[in-house]
Amino acid sequence: MLVATPETRTDQDTKVVEEAIRIIQDHLDREARNRRQVLLEPKDLCPMQKAKLVADLQAVFDDPGPGRGSFGDWVRGLWASVRRLF
């Protein structure tokens, strides 16, 4: 009999990060195709495209999953701490 082992927080966080990377790459690839460019960086996106990208990322980060706090809250807290250093 196989017993499913619960995912650890690290496993869940890794999946969230991988999904965020996929979303970023999808946005950049789509816009690169529209502009017929090979490479595109986030800074090359127009303000509307940046807003859509951030909204998609926020949806991923704000889905806390069962029995855990929001990964997005953790990321925002970490970012605030890093900003205070500079």
Residues 30-44 have pLDDT tens digits of 999 999 988 888 888
Residues 22-78 have pLDDT tens digits of 989 999 999 999 999 888 888 888 888 888 888 888 887 776 565 556 666 666 776
Domain map of the chain by residue range?
10-63
Answer whether 27's CB lies under 8 Å from 44's CB: no
The pTM of the full predicted model, rounded to 2 decimals, is: 0.59
* pLDDT the model gives residue 33: 92
Rounded CA-CA distance 27/43 in Å is 12
SS3 assignment, position 48: helix
Burial 51-60 (b: 16+ CB within 10 A, else e): eebeebbeeb
CA 15, distance to chain mean position in Å, is: 10
* pLDDT the model gives residue 26: 92
Tokens 């951030």 -> residue = 54
